[in-house]
Structure 1
Amino acid sequence: MTISDGVREPHGATGQPSETGGVRGDGRVETGDADALKGAAAGRSGIHGWLDGVRSTRAGRLTLKIVIGAIGAVLVIGGLIMVPFPGPGWLVVFAGLAVLATEFHWAHRLLEFGKRTLSAWTGWLGRQGWTVKILVVLVAAITATAIVYYGLKLSLHIDLIVEAQKLLTR
């Protein structure tokens, strides 16, 4: 079977059916390889087989890319918003990249870069003495405290120092 202008044509005489689909009068295959891809997808089990089945059609591929892109973008953006606050911000960013990496090669490369960087950072920190480790924890705690304090003060107009003084003078 050869491809001409994006349309599959069978080898041999025109009008003959091929193994992947029916043939129109002009010799072009009607269904292309969708049926063959669906059959191959049925051989895989679980989520991978289901995803292969969805990807076997043009509309399925486009729909899957849009859905995966939307879910991954929400996770990455939400994680980036959470990064300065105490909690799982970076974990959510990596989860979003993992979701995006299922459909987008650039996200897979970015996820691998992030994993290498995190591994290098934890390896470096593991080789350091206790004083450096304690200093890193103190800097992280001070940064998180400052972010929470100023976040509450600027967004909700709650000054934690004033509130603490009020509680102590009661």
Structure 2
Amino acid sequence: MSAAVVSVERPRLRPMRLEDLTDVMEVERAAYEFPWTRAIFRDCLRVGYSCFVFETSSGLVGHGIMSMGAGECHLLNICVHPEFQRRGLGRELVNFLLALARHKKARVALLEVRVSNTAAYKLYTQLGFDEIGIRKGYYPARYGREDAIILARDLTVPFEPDGKKRASR
């Protein structure tokens, strides 16, 4: 996807399908130095995780994967193509998945983020996530491994659409 063909239309969210995986991998490789594999995405679809893509008339520009269980949701992969970042798509995707998790009666949302991914960390904290721990050496890195920051959000506490806690009345 070149800058010359970047779409100005608003991407729409829809469920991911098996036939999307070639395009999903293109977005994943554009966004991450250490992307997930096609097999991981295929397995997420196979086991019934909540898998969604952002789509424009030009193709896919992002995706999100969430697992659910025991009253918790785990945001496993939130990815927006670099040419579409900083347009609110990551925020929209996270908020959509959290609303889905609440609908499915999840009480807590969890995720991990690379220590070096300061933009994502800032987004998640703006959306009400709090740091609860570190996973040492969780991610592959160019020179060894990189730690992950574990973040959690209480889904029973009302939040505004921008992620801020509602004032008590």
Which TM class, normalised by the smaller chain length?
Answer: under 0.3
TM-score normalised by L of structure 2 = 0.22
The higher radius of gyration belongs to: 1
Larger relative contact order (C-alpha < 8 A, sep ≥ 6)? 2
Whichever structure has more strand as a proportion of its residues is 2
